[in-house]
Structure 1
Amino acid sequence: MIHKSISRLAISAALVVGGATAALAEELSFAHFVPPQHTLTGSVIEPLQEGLKAELGDDMTVRVYPGGELGKGPLEQYVRVVQGVADIVWGLPGYTSSQFSKTMVAEMPGVIEGGQMGYPAIWKSMDLIKDEFPATKPLALWTSEPNIFIMKDKDVRTPDDLKGLKMRVAGATSAAVIEALGATPVQMPAGEIYNALQTGLIDGVVTGASAVSDFKLLEVANSYTVGAPLGRLTFYVVMNQGRYDGLTDAQKAAIDKFAGEYLSKSAETAWNKRADETIAALKADAGKTVITLTEDEAAAFGALTIPVTEKVVGELGAEDVLTSMRGE
């Protein structure tokens, strides 16, 4: 009887301890709107999952909801995380440009020089742009590879080649650049580009080369122009601030270890690698035209696009952000 009582007590104690451990375990939801094979998975989601696993074991996991499973609209990503529909989301500031006007200075032509990474400039400027991320904790902020022209049945070698064309852009900064080149900007989420190119709703796209692979644009575009100063895109991964604040100190410390420049560098490195591989594959494809501009040809575009940066920054009163991001 004594042994049975001890056994029952031991089992009860184990259940209590097990219940306490389970109560401490957290599952964070990570929502995005692209397929699982997108560059985002290997460069951001998996490093975060693996990092938290190494730090916390099973005390914290990240469950991913790709392809708009928690809401189809890419433009609503930030609202989704603030409202608690998801704990973490990935999105583009350009989709809601008015909220992120200072963050998007990093997108402008001439701000991040070719060959340089954009994420250090953004994080160095966080004190100046943090108000654009209310109710969230930014986990990663980075820029894409430099933008290129992605065209259907039209070659772009000079600014005149763009006159009167309809060009898809991701946000307000790219729109201003396209208008300066004499084309008409059409803003739409990346997931709509394929059909828009295929049906002739747009003539081309301004975005990074990685999008050609990630969104299968090589099936509907056949001419690509590299080297014009067109700026870049910016991206964010943010977490609901209240959700973060409710975690244990150990769980918050684990997130902090991988948030910031660590995840941002991982993402931007992957975006650039994907872009380089894509350009190489396009050059090797006899059915595609890849135009690499000379310095003089690129300068002809820059004469129209670089002044847009100073104009937009002046209208925003964001000269301090520009100076910080340029490292001046």
Structure 2
Amino acid sequence: MNRLIQAAAFGISGIGAAISPAMADEWRLNNFLPETRPETAELEQFVEDVNGALAEGSEITLYSGGSLGLPNTDTLRFLPKGAVEMSLMWANYLGRDAPALSSVVVQGTIGSIEEFEKAIPTVRDIYEEEFADWGVSSVGYVAIPMLSVSVFCRDEPVRTLEDLKSKKLRVWARDQVETFTRLGVAAQIIPQEEMYVALKTGVVDCALYPALYAHTVSLQEVAKYASFLYPMASGPYVIGVATDKWDATDEATKAAITAAADDLWDRTNQYEDDFERELAAREKLGEEGVTWGEDFSDEDRALFVSSVTETWKMLAEEAGGNAPAYRERVLTALGR
């Protein structure tokens, strides 16, 4: 029993062992996104705004690209324990610990900006409720653009679901694994920081990824063919703080963080230029050697959406608890 207690104590303390203790007036913001992502630039502005409003000697420091060594899938474990004061979170990465979160917005089920704008307030409410149950307060949000997801392949173009069945496909979330499995495609989750090597060495033949962000991971160096498959709306990133930490924070600091977070949301919650930026990204990738093929057909996209819809229902029922009710709330917001 003593050995078990010692092991448990070591495990808990080990979560923050790689991070030196912070000063009482320093808040560390863990950001798993690469420094090259546009969302990271927005977080840098958020930090600058907060620090400008805080008293001298107090500050938030941003650590990007997973530089603190904290896995994004473990956020609900390390954040309430105080490994960092603040962290970016994405619900779709947290399904292992909080299954209901992964079925709030299943990627591919919302296919237009108009629909997504209807759903966002409900999605934010659900996130706030669910994270509160884990001892985490949602203090800010970063909107994710309406993305166009393409299939990037290393050796030859793939433009049909039938051809994709003979390939090994990289995806980034379980709902995608389930969706493609229904379609007869072998899909596996590979983190984006490992995707480059996985494509280069042939662990996978193709990767699902938005052209808008392809340069941030140098995807054009290892994938020479690409074709658009489906539009994707995602629930926003959440900036979380342990609830006990937030409750103990002075009102001036809370006000500075809240005001900067409101500005952050207003800056990122804009979707009018998303498609133009997507086309510009494709053009730039084409100049660097990526051959853009024809889009997947309307028939293939219809099959994909049908599979996603089945996956969404299955994941909600499997998760149980609040998940089916969350799904119904989002469907109601969408008017379906």
Q: TM-score range by the shorter chain?
A: 0.7 to 0.9
Distance 1:176 1:137, change over 3 A: same
Query: How far apart in 2 are the matches of 1:268 and 1:207?
Result: 21
Q: Which moved more, 1:224-233 or 1:71-80?
A: 224-233
Match of 1:307 in 2: 310
Query: How far apart in 1 are the matches of 2:97 and 2:332?
Result: 20
Question: How far is 1:46 from its partner?
Answer: 2.0
Structure 2 residue runs without a partner (length 5+): 1-23
Letter matched to residue 26 of structure 1: D
1:282 maps to 2:280: no
- Given that 1:198 and 1:220 are in contact with CA atoms closer than 8 Å, whether structure 2 keeps it comes out as yes
Distance 1:59 1:85, change over 3 A: same
Match of 1:322 in 2: 330
Larger radius of gyration: 1
Query: How far apart in 1 are the matches of 2:120 and 2:286?
Result: 32
Query: How far apart in 1 are the matches of 2:255 and 2:31?
Result: 24
Paired residues in the alignment total: 303
Distance 1:73 1:109, change over 3 A: closer
Query: How far apart in 1 are the matches of 2:307 and 2:258?
Result: 41
Query: How far apart in 1 are the matches of 2:52 and 2:332?
Result: 35
Indicate the SS of the match to 2:179.
Answer: helix
Deviation track 1:206-246 (CA, whole Å, cap 9, x = no partner) reads 23333312211111111222143566576332122222222
Of all paired residues, the percent bearing the same amino acid is: 21
Match of 1:29 in 2: 28
Question: How far is 1:197 from its partner?
Answer: 0.7
Match of 1:251 in 2: 253
Once superposed, what is the RMSD of the aligned Cα atoms?
Answer: 3.3
Q: Kindly report which structure 2 residues correspond to 1:40-119, keeping only aligned pairs within 5 A, or say none.
A: 40-43=39-42, 45-56=43-54, 58=56, 60-105=58-103, 107-109=105-107, 111-116=109-114, 118=116
Question: How far is 1:189 from its partner?
Answer: 1.7
Question: How far is 1:276 from its partner?
Answer: 4.8
1:298 maps to 2:301: yes
Indicate the SS of the match to 1:153.
Answer: coil
Distance 1:207 1:313, change over 3 A: farther
Query: How far apart in 2 are the matches of 1:106 and 1:198?
Result: 34
Question: How far is 1:176 from its partner?
Answer: 1.4
Letter matched to residue 136 of structure 2: T
Distance 1:304 1:66, change over 3 A: closer
Deviation track 1:18-45 (CA, whole Å, cap 9, x = no partner) reads xxxxxxx9321112334433323212x2
Query: How far apart in 2 are the matches of 1:274 and 1:90?
Result: 24
Distance 1:238 1:299, change over 3 A: same
Structure 1 residue runs without a partner (length 5+): 1-24
Match of 2:197 in 1: 195
- Given that 1:209 and 1:279 are in contact with CA atoms closer than 8 Å, whether structure 2 keeps it comes out as yes
